[in-house]
């Protein structure tokens, strides 16, 4: 299905109906061959790539990509108008300064290519030619400086050198030539075409000619009028020699300031819309970062940055399933945590979505697969699946979702445009357009609000292992361990050949095994744990926990071992029969207090020392006893 004539007119293309019967690939080539290089660079480049990639890519380009790219081209063209106009003016002034005929095509060249043409043209001005060569090899900022004042300075020096070297002319004649040169240079600011007669006008008369060409209300015009209002010939001469150039710079600076203010206004609107729309948190954050930066940062955000943050993932909020993401590689959409297998941290496939403006309503959204361009999450018969856009109005309606504040009080809920009152919901891990009417099994009222509320998260999520799943679903655990600060590690030979996973968080290391599940080990206890072999010794069977006395903390491990810590005694191991006896006495709340050292040999006995006594164990008899010291 081709774009409508009205839609394609937005590309600036004039065509006949014969285009509409072309195969997609030929149609795309027509677009490439016809669109303007300057106004539509993204469309032109993408059309060429689609043509090269073949019929399928050409069809996708016609149905989807061309419109997004055309919008970007138009936005960029409008945003860059001032910069483009300033660039053209710089080039026009430079070419006029050297009396170089220039075409529109040359004015649209990049600075480097334009300066190369200028360099080739310049004759009779050795310093100007050398300066052009230096600018050709410089960066764009230096090239702009060269065009705005470097070329003028070099030409002036060449003019002065030529006058000084001409011994045949009188001082009066040299002064006349210098004055004519100054007027000719000043004329380039307003692109005034001069004649020999005009260059011999008195200074005040020449300024009137400049004023006629100057933009009304500009700094150049205002400064010209100020000079004319003076009766001092020195003021007229100063305006022609330097004043007009200083005024022109003020005009440029004012225009840049206006553009910067407008860029910030537009960026502020994008930020507010993204925040209100609920579906583009990365865009809102990028806009905020740009606004906190320089004017160049804001301009870069508007040109490219806003499009680089269009992708998000969609995470469930139902308790127990908060680490599950909407995913589809084609066909039925599901929520899944993925399967890390024997890897530490791997990407969750097919769970990243480009958040587009709604295909059927720009105030809503369409979720395009980041993996399969041109395919969208759409409802069909209330089932949600990933399908390729066929360009029909029905598909666009089915693939449009309107964002609302989450049905469960937080996050976001997505109402189907095609099925008003029905929201994107997971049920039995499959995704539907559902409500809580009990009409269908997936319309169950139980957990409806939770199942139809989502968190819009960062793109390219990792597979959710048991560790990160607990982190998402256990609020107290998450608050204790803090945020992840490293990727998860998988050790296939962790304990007796059984796999172990662990991951570092801000405040603890968290371990998992199939036998012990997910538990944290914190601070000084973790240091002690690592010193005795970590999980290759034993695995934790519960989290690091504050001791009942409110002073210390502890972890229990497999085989009845524990590590107890207090600020005055440090962290120490207690295990076996000695640990059992201490437990009978009441742990740290017993008369013994906290351990002050790990269990160690004491002759034929085993001994643990505590703050207020010891516990001994006799391996030969199995007797264990405690006593004060």
Residue 6 confidence (pLDDT) above 70: no
Does residue 296 belong to any structural domain of this protein? no
Q: Is the domain of 441 the same as that of 500?
A: no
Residue 5 confidence (pLDDT) above 70: no
Does residue 175 belong to any structural domain of this protein? no
CA atoms within 13 A on the CB side of 41: 6
Q: Is the domain of 352 the same as that of 451?
A: yes
Does residue 596 belong to any structural domain of this protein? yes
**% the chain with pLDDT above 70:** 97
pLDDT tens-digit map of 391-422: 899 999 999 999 999 999 999 999 999 999 99
Mean pLDDT on 20-37: 81
The model's confidence at residue 326, banded by pLDDT at 50, 70 and 90, is: very high
Q: Is the domain of 414 the same as that of 485?
A: no
User: Quick one: pLDDT at residue 29?
Assistant: 83
Domain assignment of residue 607, given as a range:
466-628
Q: Is the domain of 451 the same as that of 489?
A: no
Mean pLDDT on 526-553: 97
User: Quick one: pLDDT at residue 13?
Assistant: 67
User: Quick one: pLDDT at residue 35?
Assistant: 82
Query: Residue 335: which CATH number?
Result: 2.80.10.50
pLDDT tens-digit map of 122-150: 999 999 999 999 999 999 999 999 999 89
Q: Is the domain of 425 the same as that of 538?
A: no
Q: Is the domain of 384 the same as that of 470?
A: no
User: Quick one: pLDDT at residue 12?
Assistant: 67
Please tell me the total count of domains within the chain: 3
Q: How far apart are CA 353 and CA 309, in angstroms?
A: 11
Residue 553 backbone dihedrals phi, psi, to 5 degrees: -150, 170
Does residue 514 belong to any structural domain of this protein? yes
Does residue 574 belong to any structural domain of this protein? yes
Residue finishing a domain among 79, 102, 118 = 79
Residue finishing a domain among 423, 457, 491 = 457
Q: Is the domain of 547 the same as that of 619?
A: yes
User: Quick one: pLDDT at residue 4?
Assistant: 43
Q: Is the domain of 446 the same as that of 573?
A: no
Q: Is the domain of 486 the same as that of 618?
A: yes
pLDDT tens-digit map of 468-515: 999 999 999 999 999 999 999 999 998 888 999 999 999 999 999 999
Closest to 199 in 3D by CA, of 185, 211, 212, 213: 185
Torsion angle of the four alpha carbons 145, 149, 151, 155, in this order, in degrees rounded to the nearest 10:
-160
User: Quick one: pLDDT at residue 23?
Assistant: 85
Residue 268 confidence (pLDDT) above 90: yes
User: Quick one: pLDDT at residue 1?
Assistant: 44
Q: Is the domain of 449 the same as that of 472?
A: no
Does residue 288 belong to any structural domain of this protein? no
pLDDT tens-digit map of 166-186: 888 898 999 999 999 999 999
The model's confidence at residue 52, banded by pLDDT at 50, 70 and 90, is: confident
User: Quick one: pLDDT at residue 566?
Assistant: 98
Q: Is the domain of 535 the same as that of 596?
A: yes
Q: Is the domain of 603 the same as that of 484?
A: yes
Residue 272 confidence (pLDDT) above 80: yes
Residue 36 backbone dihedrals phi, psi, to 5 degrees: -75, 135
Does residue 404 belong to any structural domain of this protein? yes
In terms of DSSP H, where are the helices of 278-375? 281-291, 295-303
Residue finishing a domain among 457, 487, 504 = 457
313, 457 contact by CB (below 8 A): yes
Does residue 341 belong to any structural domain of this protein? yes
CA distances from 218 to 243, 244, 458 (A): 13, 11, 48
Q: Specify the pairing of strand 325-327 against strand 365-369.
A: unpaired
Residue 9 confidence (pLDDT) above 80: no
């Amino acid at each position: 299905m081709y774009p409508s004539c009205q839609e394609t007119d937005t590309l600036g293309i004039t065509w006949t109906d014969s285009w509409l019967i072309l195969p997609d690939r030929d149609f795309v080539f027509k677009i490439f061959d016809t669109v303007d290089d300057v106004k539509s660079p993204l469309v032109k480049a993408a059309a060429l790539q689609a043509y090269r990639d073949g019929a399928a890519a050409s069809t996708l380009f016609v149905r989807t990509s061309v419109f997004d790219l055309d919008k970007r081209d138009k936005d960029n063209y409008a945003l860059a108008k001032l910069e483009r106009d300033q660039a053209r003016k710089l080039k026009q002034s430079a070419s006029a300064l050297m009396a170089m005929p220039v075409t529109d095509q040359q004015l649209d060249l990049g600075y480097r290519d334009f300066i190369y043409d200028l360099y080739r043209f310049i004759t009779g001005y050795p310093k100007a030619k050398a300066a052009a060569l230096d600018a050709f090899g410089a960066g764009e900022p230096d090239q702009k400086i060269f065009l705005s004042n470097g070329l003028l300075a070099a030409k002036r020096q060449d003019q002065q050198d030529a006058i000084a070297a001409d011994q045949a002319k009188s001082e009066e004649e040299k002064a006349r030539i210098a004055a004519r040169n100054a007027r000719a240079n000043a004329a380039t600011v307003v692109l005034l075409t001069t004649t020999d007669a005009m260059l011999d006008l008195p200074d005040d008369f020449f300024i009137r000619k400049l004023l006629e060409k100057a933009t009304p209300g500009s700094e150049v015009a205002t400064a010209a009028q100020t000079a004319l209002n003076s009766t001092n010939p020195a003021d007229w001469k100063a305006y022609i020699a330097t004043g007009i150039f200083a005024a022109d710079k003020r005009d440029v600076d004012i225009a840049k300031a206006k553009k910067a203010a407008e860029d910030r206004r537009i960026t502020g609107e994008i930020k507010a819309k993204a925040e209100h729309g609920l579906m583009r948190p990365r865009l809102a954050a990028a806009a905020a970062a740009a606004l906190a930066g320089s004017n160049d940062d804001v301009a870069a955000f508007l040109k490219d940055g806003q499009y680089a943050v269009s992708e998000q993932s969609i995470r469930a909020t139902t308790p127990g399933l908060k680490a599950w993401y909407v995913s589809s590689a084609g066909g039925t959409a599901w929520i899944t945590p993925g399967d890390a297998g024997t890897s530490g941290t791997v990407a969750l496939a097919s769970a990243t979505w480009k958040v587009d403006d709604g295909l059927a309503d720009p105030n809503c959204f369409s979720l395009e697969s980041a993996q399969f361009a041109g395919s969208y999450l759409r409802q069909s018969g209330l089932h949600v699946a990933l399908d390729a856009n066929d360009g029909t109005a029905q598909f666009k309606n089915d693939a449009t979702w309107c964002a609302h504040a989450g049905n469960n009080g937080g996050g976001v809920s997505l109402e189907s445009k095609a099925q008003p009152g029905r929201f994107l919901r997971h049920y039995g891990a499959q995704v539907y357009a559902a409500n809580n009417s009990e009409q269908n099994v997936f319309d169950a009222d139980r957990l409806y609000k939770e199942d139809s509320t989502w968190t819009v998260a960062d793109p390219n999520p990792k597979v959710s292992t048991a560790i990160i799943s607990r982190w998402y679903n256990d609020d107290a655990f998450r608050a204790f361990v803090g945020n992840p600060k490293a990727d998860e590690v998988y050790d296939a030979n962790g304990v007796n050949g059984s796999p172990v996973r662990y991951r570092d968080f801000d405040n603890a290391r968290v371990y998992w095994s199939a036998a012990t599940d997910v538990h944290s080990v914190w601070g000084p206890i973790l240091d002690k744990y690592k010193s005795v072999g970590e999980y290759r010794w034993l695995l934790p069977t519960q989290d690091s926990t504050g001791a009942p006395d409110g002073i210390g903390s502890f972890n229990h491990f497999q085989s009845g071992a524990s590590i107890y810590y207090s600020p005055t005694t440090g962290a120490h191991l207690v295990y076996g029969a000695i640990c059992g006896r201490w437990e009978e006495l009441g742990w740290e709340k017993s008369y013994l207090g906290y351990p002050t050292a790990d269990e160690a040999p004491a002759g034929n006995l085993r001994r643990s020392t505590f703050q207020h006594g010891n516990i001994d164990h006799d391996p030969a008899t199995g007797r264990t006893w405690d006593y004060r010291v």
